Structure formats: C-alpha cells, structure tokens
C-alpha cells in the first residue's frame, strides 16, 4: 500500500489566507494512520507559477531498520531507472550509559555523471556510503522516528530552466544501526546532509510531476507525518 497525496489533506473548509511573497504555504499533508504504507508520494502538486521551490518537513518511522530513499515522479509514477546522482556527509555520535559522547565519525560519498560511463543510480539513498550508493553506512532503528527537512527544486517544464531536478537538505536518524552489525542500536544521533539530482531532461526521462519517499526495506509505520510546503514567488 502506498500513501499518494494529490490534494491538500491538511486544510478544512473555509477561506485560507494566501502566504505573502517569499513565505511558505502548506500544499499537502501526509498522515499515516490505520496501517503502514510502502511509500509516500506527493504528485500533481508542483506549480511553478506560484512557487519558486518546495519544502518537505516531518517525521517518518520505518517498520524495520531502514534508510530513506527518494525518487522523482514522471507522469505520476516514481522513476526507478538509473537517473540519479548525489553527494552527502554523514556524522554520528554514540552515547554510553553515563550519557557522554563516546563515538564520533564522519564520511562522505558522491556520485557524478560522466558521458563516458554514465554512473547513475536508480534512487537517492540517505545514509549510504559506497560509490554506487548501494551500501548503507547508517540506518534508522526499527519503529523509531527519523526527522527530515528537505528543499526541492523540480524541473517541471522539461526545458531545463532549472537544469533538471534537485533535492537537498538534512535527515536525522535516532537510535541508528551501523552496517555490518545487524543487531546494533546506538543510542545517539546520525545526521545526513545530502544533495541529490534527478537528470530527467538530460536522460530524456520526462517532465517531473512529483516526488516519492520510501524506506529501502519494510514500510512507513503508523504515526509518520510529513508536510509539503511551497515557497511563494
């Protein structure tokens, strides 16, 4: 089951005062209730005549240990072919029984397009550490919340006015797990700063209509909540 959001579920009836130029307006809200979903998709909501960019802010809870993945949508469906590149830095701390910081490390990974070898990936993975974004450095421990704050610059025209689509921002995992230690649960925080790109125009994938967020394994649990904002022109 997926949570596909195509209208504003966060507003009741009545008049809603428009945000001033440069302010943020709530476009849509995704609240997961009743049962877990495999993904959350915001689609058919981008409007470049009203908004210069978009923000996604909220809390997501996976049903099992997982890292978050992002894909852009074309014609209402997430693009799963090799179309993505990105760069990120991961920083983590672990706390011992007395609360002191006992572990701190950082790392970065990047994947850039090359006309010769086209090393694209089929998704944007948050917390992965290999060259091909295939292996996670950190994962959110099961049934704990991850917190995210991302800015989206979609190319909704297909003409390259924004030269393809970009998503960038920060994601925090609490009680995170570490690759190679399947039972690890570190009582600290892992923060990922990421910038990813979807090469829709360059690779002729089509015009972006939305964005999809999903865990690499399992589902988004009940209680997950994220909001899509538009940054007014």
Q: Is 201 inside any structural domain?
A: yes
Give Cα 122 to chain centroid, integer Å: 14
Given a contact cutoff of 8 angstroms between Cβ atoms, the answer to whether 74 and 53 are in contact is no
- Any residues with CB less than 8 A from the CB of 62 and at least 6 apart, and which? 140, 142, 143, 146, 215, 217, 218, 219, 220, 221
Q: What domain count does the chain have?
A: 1
Domain range enclosing 124: 40-232
**2 assigned to some structural domain:** no
- Residue 9 in any domain: the answer is no
Give 206's pLDDT tier (boundaries 50, 70, 90).
Answer: confident
pTM of the model: 0.82
What pLDDT is stored for residue 67 in this prediction?
87
Residue 179 and residue 159: Cα distance in Å, rounded? 40
């Amino acid at each position: 089951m997926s949570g596909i959001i195509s209208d504003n579920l966060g507003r009741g009836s009545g008049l809603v005062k428009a945000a001033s130029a440069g302010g943020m307006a709530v476009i849509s809200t995704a609240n997961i209730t009743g049962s877990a979903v495999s993904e959350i998709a915001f689609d058919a909501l981008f409007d470049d005549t009203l908004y210069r960019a978009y923000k996604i802010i909220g809390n997501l809870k996976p049903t099992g240990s997982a890292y978050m993945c992002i894909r852009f949508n074309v014609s209402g469906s997430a693009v799963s072919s090799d179309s993505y590149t990105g760069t990120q830095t991961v920083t983590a701390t672990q706390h011992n029984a007395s609360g002191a910081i006992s572990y701190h490390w950082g790392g970065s990974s990047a994947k850039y397009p090359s006309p010769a070898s086209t090393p694209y990936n089929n998704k944007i993975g948050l917390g992965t550490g290999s060259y091909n974004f295939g292996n996670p450095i950190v994962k959110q421990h099961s049934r704990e919340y991850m917190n995210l704050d991302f800015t989206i610059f979609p190319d909704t025209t297909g003409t390259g006015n924004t030269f393809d689509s970009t998503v960038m921002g920060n994601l925090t995992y609490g009680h995170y797990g570490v690759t190679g230690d399947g039972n690890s649960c570190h009582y600290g925080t892992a923060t990922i700063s990421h910038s990813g790109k979807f090469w829709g125009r360059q690779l002729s994938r089509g015009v972006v209509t939305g964005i999809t967020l999903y865990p690499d394994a399992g589902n988004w649990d009940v209680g997950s909540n994220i909001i899509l904002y538009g940054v007014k022109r």
